[in-house]
């Protein structure tokens, strides 16, 4: 079922997409497909085109070649990489959830609860920790009950226990909403263990596979420390081909 680009089980897919922003190609013939409820992680070094691919998928940029298919009526929830909010601007979490569209108190409370941010409604956005801030962004993204949640480097700036805890929250959201999840990470080797598939992008799709769940191994603790609850796993790359373009990356 996964991998069937534009196939019957796909809710969102890209087919041979290329993007160049008027210069060298940033994405070349990239295809990918997401099935309902699936968790897909895209890894790749900085500048490998991950954010560009997300922008293509949400329809914010039109690819030069190739196609994007979205299931009719598909609702997408987007969690941005960062969001700058003027720290001098008084803005509570509850008010933030009303942007850009006012939402009912019950919906706001339910979204905060699902995102693991219950009790934060009255806090100032500027007072939140990194992990709390990401959960509030997550709450805002799920207000519309999306079919697919897109996360752009949502754990950037969080430490490993912080990332692990955020990943567990994503699993909760996925099981409560039944949505698919597509997340992007510049972390090449450590991924969310619940990922059904990991795709390594470097202008093109380098390789694709499942994460190695190593939480049973004694080495896990050493690698990831304590308090990660098995939310992290390793992705072992399987690519030893040569690149004919300018992108450099570590294949180790
Ligand atoms: N609007 C734009 N105009 C011109 N070039 C762009 C634009 N957006 C991105 N690029 C270029 O495209 C390439 C890929 O950028 P992109 O942000 O998609 O990569 P990324 O993998 O998400 O990187 P990062 O991990 O640093 O966020 C980079 O070389 C970047 O400079």
ipTM of the complex: 0.96
Question: pLDDT grade, residue 4 (50/70/90)?
Answer: very low
Whole-angstrom distance, CA of residue 113 vs CA of residue 148: 19
Report the domain count for the chain: 1
Whole-angstrom distance, CA of residue 35 vs CA of residue 179: 10
Task: Determine, yes or no, domain membership for 250.
Answer: no
Task: Determine, yes or no, domain membership for 67.
Answer: yes
Task: Determine, yes or no, domain membership for 136.
Answer: no
Record the tokens describing residue 219, joined without a space. Answer: 């080495």
Nearest CA to ligand 1 atom 30: 47
How many angstroms does the Cα of residue 46 sit away from the middle of ligand 1? 8
Task: Determine, yes or no, domain membership for 243.
Answer: no
pLDDT digits 0-9 by tens, 126-180: 999 999 999 999 999 999 999 999 999 989 888 888 999 999 999 999 999 999 9
Question: pLDDT grade, residue 3 (50/70/90)?
Answer: very low
- Closest atom of ligand 1 to 22 CA is 4
Task: Determine, yes or no, domain membership for 61.
Answer: yes
How many angstroms does the Cα of residue 200 sit away from the middle of ligand 1? 16
Torsion of CA 11, 15, 21, 25, to 10 degrees: 140
How many angstroms does the Cα of residue 62 sit away from the middle of ligand 1? 15
How many angstroms does the Cα of residue 111 sit away from the middle of ligand 1? 31
Torsion of CA 95, 112, 51, 153, to 10 degrees: 120
186 lines ligand 1 (CB under 6 A): yes
- With vertex at residue 194, the alpha carbon angle to CA 192 and CA 197, rounded to the nearest 5 degrees, is 85
Query: Mean pLDDT over residues 69-75, rounded?
Result: 96
Whole-angstrom distance, CA of residue 195 vs CA of residue 77: 18
| Torsions phi, psi for 24 (to 5 deg) | -60, 155
pLDDT digits 0-9 by tens, 207-250: 999 998 877 777 777 877 777 888 999 999 987 766 555 555 55
Domain of residue 18 covers 12-75+146-234
Per-residue pLDDT, 8: 63
* pLDDT tops 60 at residue 6: no
Tell me which of 14, 17, 21 to substitute to probe ligand 1's pocket, judged by most ligand atoms within 8 Å of the beta carbon: 21
* pLDDT tops 90 at residue 5: no
Question: pLDDT grade, residue 2 (50/70/90)?
Answer: very low
By residue count, the chain amounts to 252
Nearest CA to ligand 1 atom 5: 21
Per-residue pLDDT, 248: 52
Query: Mean pLDDT over residues 49-75, rounded?
Result: 95
Tell me whether strands 148-152 and 76-79 are parallel, antiparallel or unpaired: parallel
How many angstroms does the Cα of residue 49 sit away from the middle of ligand 1? 6
Q: What is the CATH number of the domain that holds 180?
A: 3.40.50.300
> What is the pTM assigned to this prediction?
0.89
Per-residue pLDDT, 243: 57
Q: Which of the pair, 63 or 212, is modelled with greater confidence?
A: 63
Task: Determine, yes or no, domain membership for 89.
Answer: no
Nearest CA to ligand 1 atom 31: 47
pLDDT digits 0-9 by tens, 16-55: 999 999 999 999 999 999 999 999 999 999 999 999 999 9
Whole-angstrom distance, CA of residue 81 vs CA of residue 153: 5
Q: Are 182 and 56 in contact (CB under 8 A)?
A: no
Query: Mean pLDDT over residues 76-82, rounded?
Result: 88
Task: Determine, yes or no, domain membership for 207.
Answer: yes
Per-residue pLDDT, 31: 97
pLDDT digits 0-9 by tens, 90-116: 999 999 999 989 999 999 999 999 999
Per-residue pLDDT, 252: 41
Task: Determine, yes or no, domain membership for 196.
Answer: yes
For residue 34, what are the CA distances in angstroms to 70, 113, 121, 190? 10, 26, 33, 21
51 lines ligand 1 (CB under 6 A): yes
52 lines ligand 1 (CB under 6 A): yes
């Amino acid at each position: 079922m996964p991998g069937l680009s534009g196939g019957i089980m796909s809710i969102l897919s890209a087919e041979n997409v290329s993007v160049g922003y008027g210069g060298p190609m940033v994405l070349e013939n990239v295809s990918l497909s997401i099935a309902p409820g699936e968790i897909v992680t895209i890894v790749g070094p900085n500048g490998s085109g991950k954010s560009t691919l997300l922008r293509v998928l949400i329809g914010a940029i039109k690819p030069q070649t190739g196609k994007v298919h979205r299931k009719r009526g598909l609702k997408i929830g987007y969690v941005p990489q960062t969001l700058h909010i003027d720290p001098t601007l008084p803005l509570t979490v509850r008010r933030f959830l009303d942007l850009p569209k006012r939402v009912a108190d019950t919906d706001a409370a339910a979204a905060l609860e699902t995102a693991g941010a219950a009790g934060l409604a009255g806090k100032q956005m500027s007072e939140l920790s990194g992990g709390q801030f990401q959960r509030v962004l997550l709450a805002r993204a799920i207000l519309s009950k999306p079919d697919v949640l897109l996360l752009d480097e949502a754990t950037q700036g969080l430490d490993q226990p912080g990332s692990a805890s955020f990943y567990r929250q994503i699993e909760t959201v996925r099981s409560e909403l039944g949505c698919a999840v597509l997340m992007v990470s510049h972390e090449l080797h450590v991924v969310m263990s619940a990922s059904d598939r990991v795709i390594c992008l470097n202008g093109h799709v380098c390789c694709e596979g499942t994460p190695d769940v190593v939480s049973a191994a004694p080495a896990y603790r050493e690698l990831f420390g304590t308090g990660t609850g098995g939310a992290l796993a390793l992705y072992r790359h399987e690519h030893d081909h040569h690149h004919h373009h300018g992108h450099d990356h570590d294949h180790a």
